[in-house]
Structure 1
Amino acid sequence: MVNVYDQANALESALRQSEEFKALESFYKAVNENEDSKKLFDEFREVQMELQLKQMQGEEMLDSDIERAQQTAQSVEEDENIKQLMEAEQKLSMLIQDLNRVIMKPIEELYKVNE
């Protein structure tokens, strides 16, 4: 019998060795080694978390919140280190979505057979 957790651990190891993860790791390091990039990236993440929290709590978004988010996002787009990090993050996310489709395939097939 196959141990699903052993397979999951093997997948985790393969993911760590993938080009997509190694690129993300490299760009994350570059952001953290550049003082300006790191400060901007931390601020961007803080703004995102604050807005998500407000949204989850059903609080109204103020114009000042939206303006701050837009300004931070624009600054992030202009920082080459962060831009590369976000592109690498998107590629890794796409890989994970593809893996999720593969993992969910048996369940999807099961339900299609029984329809």
Structure 2
Amino acid sequence: MSNLNDYAYLLEKEIRASGEYGALKQAYEQVLQNSQAKTLFDDFRNLQLRLQEKQMSGQPVTEKEAGQAQAIAAAVQANPLIARLMNAEQRLSAVLDEVNKILMKPLEDLYTGK
């Protein structure tokens, strides 16, 4: 029997070699090289994480926080470097979603009797 971890590491290597990952890495590096875009992106990610933590702990998001989220989301979408980064992330995420569907197929087949 083969070692599934070996295949997982091979898959990781292939993901890193993919065009989608390369485009994401390049877009991220461009954001990092622009201080305004980097600050905006960091603020956006930090706010996202704080709001996720609140929701996971059952705390409500305040109107002020929702307003902050809307304002920073609009600023992020208006920044071409960050918009390119987010589009690249969505493309890679779609690939990873498809890979996950393939990986989960044995369980799906088992539970559906296929």
The alpha carbon displacement at 1:107 in A equals: 1.4
In the alignment, which residue of structure 2 is the partner of 1:47?
47
CA distance in 2, matches of 1:2, 1:17: 23
In the alignment, which residue of structure 1 is the partner of 2:22?
22
In the alignment, which residue of structure 2 is the partner of 1:72?
72
1:61-92 alpha-carbon deviations (Å, 9 max, x no partner): 21110110000000000000000000000011
How many residues are treated as equivalent by the alignment? 114
In the alignment, which residue of structure 1 is the partner of 2:107?
107
| Aligned AA (1:102) | I
More deviation in 5-14 or 48-57? 48-57
Q: Which runs of 5+ in 2 are unaligned?
A: none
- The TM-score normalised by the length of structure 1 is 0.95
| Aligned AA (1:42) | D
The alpha carbon displacement at 1:60 in A equals: 2.2
- The TM-score normalised by the length of structure 2 is 0.96
Matched, 1:59 2:46: no
Which 4+ runs in 1 deviate beyond 3 A? none
CA distance in 2, matches of 1:94, 1:100: 10
1:19-58 alpha-carbon deviations (Å, 9 max, x no partner): 0000000000000000100000000011111111111222
